A and B are shown apart, each in its own frame.
Chain A
């Protein structure tokens, strides 16, 4: 902790309205921010001093370019059984944007044609996609590492009977969202009753052998329940191991912290509380050049529900496509293309470079 850090943490802020709980996606409420262009505009209005490429240059670093692709992150769609308040995807039960079978086949075809080592399946709730098992089966047959980004409630819905066993049999890694080890904070963000269901799910996964250090990886994805930065990962991991074991007898492998992105419903929350500018400035102020070499956009191919390719899932939600010189859709994706495409950046990129850094695999430093 430094003096600069302390100063950044005490900007004057209006008091938050108590008891206000939005339900439903932005889209279902026909909210102006349902349009990605409106989100981009709101972020851009935070000020011209926030140029991310400018910050990269000022740190003496070259513009962000891609490295070899390690991860194909497939976002199978925005449909989800939950409507979490911070969701950057604006996912929910009302969303109809779901990856078609034809696009799923294209993803699997391009995966087979490449040597990309990891398939990272996200959404929405990927477990509710009708081709989810096919994706796992094919990627598993190809010998790739598979990560499921789970919300912990979809996996055990009646419609998914036997799915957890199916995943365990194929060694699928589960990275599960759980913002806190107590119900109050978790339910405030994810919906009433979600904490108890999540704990039941974690117990069931432990019974299947997940999270016990014998190869079936169960990782927890932890993001702040509010507009403060993500905690230092290793200290938090220690606390969580202790608290989840003590309170619930639950074991897991690693804890990953991720910063809330000023995108989607978290952006709505910031706007409602009058804190968009303060939050984005706080992220920018915490810019850490040491995070830049490991930014996930550099080694990820992010595929949207409609087959479009993005540099990351956040750009995907803001509908900021890949550089015009690169492939635009998964059908066009050519694994033999040399790395080095220019990464599309914006003010939201400070979310991944703040403090210890942030990614789908946790902190970066």
Chain B
């Protein structure tokens, strides 16, 4: 018996099950998803690095697994991938910090 967890390692293998109750929506998502990652103004390698950063920002374990591998396959190295994670961390950290402006507004409004 696998250990109980919200995230099962084989979970992504069942991703397509999402198509069972809404096949048309799944088909549209799949086609769109595939098109997004095709070589365009950004290379496939660059898109994988963006995805890797976002995967960390949204803390999706499936996406982190998938785009760590995809980034290697597209020719990225661990230095580039680590920098991508730092970009994600800087933005998420900065997003928290910039809300301090709201905190300060409240403080000024509520204070004498």
B82 within 8 A of A: no
**Cross-chain contact B13 with A226 (CB below 8 angstroms):** no
**Cross-chain contact A229 with B34 (CB below 8 angstroms):** no
Interface SS of chain B: helix
**Cross-chain contact B44 with A7 (CB below 8 angstroms):** no
Which A residues are CB-close (under 8 A) to B6?
none
Interface SS of chain A: loop
B45 within 8 A of A: yes
Which of the segments A62-70, A132-140, A235-243 contacts the partner chain?
A235-243
* Per-residue interface assignment for chain A, residues 1 to 43, with 1 indicating a CB less than 8 Å from any chain B CB and 0 otherwise: 1111011011110000000000000000000000000000000
A289 within 8 A of B: no
**Cross-chain contact B69 with A228 (CB below 8 angstroms):** yes
Which A residues are CB-close (under 8 A) to B39?
232, 235
User: CB within 8 A of A3: which of B33, B43, B69, B74?
Assistant: B33
Which A residues are CB-close (under 8 A) to B72?
224, 226, 228
Tell me the A182-234 residues at the B interface (CB within 8 Å).
Answer: 182, 184-185, 224, 226, 228-232
**Cross-chain contact B73 with A228 (CB below 8 angstroms):** yes
**Cross-chain contact B75 with A235 (CB below 8 angstroms):** yes
Q: Shortest distance in angstroms between A355's beta carbon and chain B's nearest beta carbon? A: 9
* Per-residue interface assignment for chain B, residues 5 to 18, with 1 indicating a CB less than 8 Å from any chain A CB and 0 otherwise: 00001101101100
Which A residues are CB-close (under 8 A) to B34?
1-3
- The bracket for how many chain B residues form the interface is 20 to 34
With CB as the reference atom, state the residue of chain A lying closest to B16.
A3
**Cross-chain contact A10 with B12 (CB below 8 angstroms):** yes
With CB as the reference atom, state the residue of chain B lying closest to A6.
B66
**Cross-chain contact B43 with A235 (CB below 8 angstroms):** yes
With CB as the reference atom, state the residue of chain A lying closest to B48.
A1
With CB as the reference atom, state the residue of chain B lying closest to A230.
B73
User: CB within 8 A of A7: which of B13, B37, B75?
Assistant: B13
A180 within 8 A of B: yes
Which B residues are CB-close (under 8 A) to A12?
9-10
Total A residues in contact with B, Cβ cutoff 8 Å: 26
Which B residues are CB-close (under 8 A) to A232?
39, 44, 74
| Distance of A236 Cα from B45 Cα, bound (Å) | 8
**Cross-chain contact A10 with B74 (CB below 8 angstroms):** no
With CB as the reference atom, state the residue of chain B lying closest to A185.
B77
With CB as the reference atom, state the residue of chain A lying closest to B9.
A12
B65 within 8 A of A: yes
| Distance of A11 Cα from B15 Cα, bound (Å) | 13
Tell me the B56-80 residues at the A interface (CB within 8 Å).
Answer: 62, 65-66, 69-70, 72-75, 77
| Distance of A231 Cα from B72 Cα, bound (Å) | 8
| Given A10-B65, A10-B66: A235 touches B45 (CB 8 Å cut-off) | yes
Which B residues are CB-close (under 8 A) to A7?
12-13, 15-16
| Distance of A226 Cα from B68 Cα, bound (Å) | 13
With CB as the reference atom, state the residue of chain A lying closest to B61.
A10
**Cross-chain contact B44 with A235 (CB below 8 angstroms):** yes
Query: Which of B34, B72, B75 counts the most A-chain CB atoms under 10 A from its CB?
Result: B75
User: CB within 8 A of B69: which of A9, A180, A239?
Assistant: A9
**Cross-chain contact B30 with A3 (CB below 8 angstroms):** yes
| Distance of A226 Cα from B62 Cα, bound (Å) | 20
| Distance of A184 Cα from B80 Cα, bound (Å) | 14
**Cross-chain contact B73 with A229 (CB below 8 angstroms):** yes
| Distance of A185 Cα from B45 Cα, bound (Å) | 18
With CB as the reference atom, state the residue of chain B lying closest to A238.
B43
Which A residues are CB-close (under 8 A) to B77?
180, 182, 184-185
Q: Shortest distance in angstroms between A358's beta carbon and chain B's nearest beta carbon? A: 13
**Cross-chain contact A231 with B66 (CB below 8 angstroms):** no
| Distance of A1 Cα from B44 Cα, bound (Å) | 9
**Cross-chain contact B74 with A236 (CB below 8 angstroms):** yes
Q: Which 7 A-B pairs have the closest CB atoms?
A: A12-B9, A1-B37, A10-B65, A9-B69, A236-B75, A231-B75, A6-B66
Pairs A–B under 8 Å by Cβ, sample size 16: A1-B34, A2-B33, A2-B34, A3-B30, A3-B34, A6-B15, A6-B70, A9-B65, A9-B73, A10-B12, A10-B66, A12-B9, A231-B45, A231-B74, A235-B44, A239-B43
Given A2-B34, A185-B77, 6 other A-B residues pairs in contact with their CB atoms under 8 A: A3-B30, A4-B16, A6-B15, A10-B9, A180-B77, A238-B43
